[in-house]
Structure 1
Amino acid sequence: MVQALQFARGRLSRAAQRLRGKPDTTLSLSAALAAFMPPPTELSPTAPAAPAFHAETGNRPASATEPPTHRYRAIWLSDIHLGTPGCQATYLLDFLKHNESDVLYLVGDIIDGWQLRRGWYWPQSHNDVVQKLLRKARKGTEVIYVPGNHDEVARQFDGMAFGDITVREDAIHVTATGRRLWVVHGDLFDGVVQHARWLAYLGDSLYTMILALNRHFNRIRTRLGFEYWSISQFLKHQVKNAVSYINSFEHAMVDEARRRGCDGVVCGHIHKAEIREVDGQLYCNDGDWVESLSALVETMEGELKIVYWTTLLDPPEPVGRRRRRATEMAL
């Protein structure tokens, strides 16, 4: 165990040096993943699971000046898009700090391989997100990574573990009330991604431009004391064709969940957080971390809720202090 941690720290140190140096535009997504994770090991079906937190312990005790940490049975996150300027890593880090769970599902598009192939972008805050996820896994949270279309290179590692994070093509989650939920990113049910790849890339480029405008807009809102608000999400929900596409996507997802003998589905992909009944099946979308800043959570009693994290509980650290802390952790 000590040797594994030393190996991981060495990888993190070398990755930090690379990211602070000259950008490497030829670095592949699989190489980026390998920079942060130890060599994969086959999962053993008989291997004991990492110790989970007890439901009876409740929230962790917080100091008088620190906001409380919420405790959930499960948390679903997707469409983080690390490696893009649109990723709201600061808000996500704040969310991860103040929310714990027995199981954490990463439901695809965690790292944006499409954008990284166009040009290297990886600030310290994106490093911090990866380190935070690995740290949660080491401390007992069961972390399950279900890749999406932007990080599809990770699908080749189905059934393997990286730094205590399990990679799965899809997963089945059983709630405290006994409902079976099929967990999948959802891109395989997107006709544009599957049959018109060029159109998906074009749409992604236009979407990136809107997110850049959205980022500058919200920087001004923050200075004026307002909460985060997404221009791109507002525009998308006003376009009738987009609304029709979302409805078709939801029906396709619940139909497949029913065929698999499940009571509902949890997915991401379309960046629209929602919980509702569709054709008698439970449809849950956990949203994203470039527009809605949302997550799906299951309480200890089995209730499913959408949590929006549009306000920071902790102010971001100064860049110099954050870099020193990351370097100390890597040594």
Structure 2
Amino acid sequence: MAGAERQKKPEPETASYRAIFLSDIHLGTKGCKAEYLLDFLRYNETETLYLVGDIVDGWRLKKNWYWPQAHNDVVQKLLRKARKGTSLVYVPGNHDEALRNYTGVHFGGVVVASDYIHETADGKRLLVLHGDAFDGVVKYAKWLALLGDWAYNVMLQVNTWFNLARRTFGFGYWSLSAYLKNKVKNAVQFIDDFETAVAEEARRRKVDGVVCGHIHKAEMRDIGGILYINDGDWVESCTALVEHHDGRLEIIHWAEERDFSMLRLTDEAKDQPRRAAKTAKKELAA
């Protein structure tokens, strides 16, 4: 009954923003929530779209090629927005670090930058960067970061099965991996140190705030007079930072707002070819 009620939930109206910030999509991994992101991009338009690193997971693709149609659809959707006039700024992260060799290059309506200064409608200057430069593990012990990446992907797979079970029983999305991360004392300390270091870089650059990704924890708060914003990710929280046309900034939790309805429709669409094939086989057998 609960599932039926959720299916009747009305479609959202298309929203328009001055800017949208997305990071840590990790296309090329099984943990990527590409269907959620496609749904978000379908109902949210913007003048400028910032891709704040780790959009494609080069680390994972080097080890094991994984590229389903939904991941290709995300790339096509982003490029289509660029063709239709959206300004796309790509700030590479550590998982797509190969693109840092193309800093300053414009291709297909996309500009690649190591970092970027975004000015809001109400005059705030925000430094946009991925943030891995302030992660000591990534910077000084990449082998340890790669080991952690493997463990993290295992946890994300567990998280996927966990949420499939929740969905079966009529519950909404809940990130087990994010919950565990916030409960581990060392992880909490790492996040706090990271946020402080990134805020200090913004202060050094004489800007009003910073927008980053990397640690997969959506957050917006003041740190010593600097506005610290992390736009989250699309493997755990499925969040985005948006700037309204008056300069107001907001973190959107898309998975919570949509409550799996888009995935249910996606699953049904995926099943249609299988059902058609089965029907055809039965007809041939008859």
Assess same fold via TM > 0.5.
yes
Q: Give the equivalent residue in structure 1 for 2:152.
A: 207
Return the letter of the residue paired with 2:127. W
Please state if 1:135 is matched with 2:86. no
Question: After the TM superposition, which residues 47-126 of structure 1 pair with which residues of structure 2 at under 5 Å, given as runs?
Answer: 66-126=11-71
Give the SS at the match of 1:173: strand
- Structure 1 residue aligned with 2:224, among 275, 279, 302? 279
* RMSD (Å), alpha carbons: 1.5
Give the letter aligned to residue 233 of structure 1.
Answer: A
Q: How does 1:31-46 map to 2 (within 5 A)?
A: none
1:226 is aligned to 2:171 = yes
Return the alpha-carbon distance in structure 1 between the equivalents of residues 167 and 89 of structure 2: 33
Residues matched between the structures, number = 259
Per-residue deviation, 1:235: 0.2
Matching of residue 147 in structure 1 with residue 83 in structure 2: no
**CA apart distance, 1:321:** 7.0
Q: TM-score, normalised by structure 2?
A: 0.88
Using the aligned pairs only, state the percent identity: 60
TM superposition shift of 1:117: 0.7
Q: Which residue is 1:319 aligned to?
A: 270
Structure 1 residue matching 2:242: 3-state secondary structure: strand
- What is the match of residue 201 of structure 2? 256
Tell me the TM-score normalised to structure 1 length.
0.76
Alignment of 1:153-168 (within 5 A): 153-168=98-113
Partner of 1:183: 128
Name the residue aligned to 1:54: none
| C-alpha distance in structure 2 between counterparts of 1:216 and 1:259, whole Å | 43
- d(CA) in 1 for partners of 2:261, 2:210: 31
Output one character per residue of 1:51-105: Cα deviation in whole Å (capped at 9) or x when no partner.
xxxxxxxxxxxxxx75310111110000000000000000010000011111100
Gaps of 5+ in 2: 1-9, 274-286
Pairwise CA distance, 1:320: 7.1
SS in structure 2 of the partner of residue 79 of structure 1? coil
3-state SS of paired residue (1:318)? helix
| Structure 1 position 225, deviation (Å) | 2.4
Tell me the amino acid that sits aligned with residue 133 of structure 2. L
Partner SS state of residue 86, structure 1: coil
2: CA distance, partners of 1:76 / 1:148: 14
Q: Is the 8 A contact 1:94 1:313 kept in 2?
A: no
Deviation at 1:276, TM superposition (A): 0.2
In 2, Cα distance between the equivalents of 1:232 and 1:162? Answer: 36
CA deviations over 1:93-127 (Å, ceiling 9, x no partner): 00000111111000000000000011100000000
Partner secondary structure for residue 162 of structure 2? helix
Question: Is the CA contact (8 Å cut-off) linking 1:67 and 1:313 kept in structure 2?
Answer: no
Partner of 1:244: 189
Greater share of residues in helix: 2
Residue 306 of structure 1: aligned partner = 251
Residue type matched to 1:236 in 2? K
Secondary structure at 1:104 match in 2: strand
Return structure 1 stretches of 4+ with deviation > 3 angstroms: none
Question: What is the rounded CA distance, in whole Å, between the counterparts of 2:43 and 2:170 in structure 1?
Answer: 22
Secondary structure at the residue paired with 1:210?
Answer: helix
Which residue of 184, 204, 215 maps to 1:270? Answer: 215
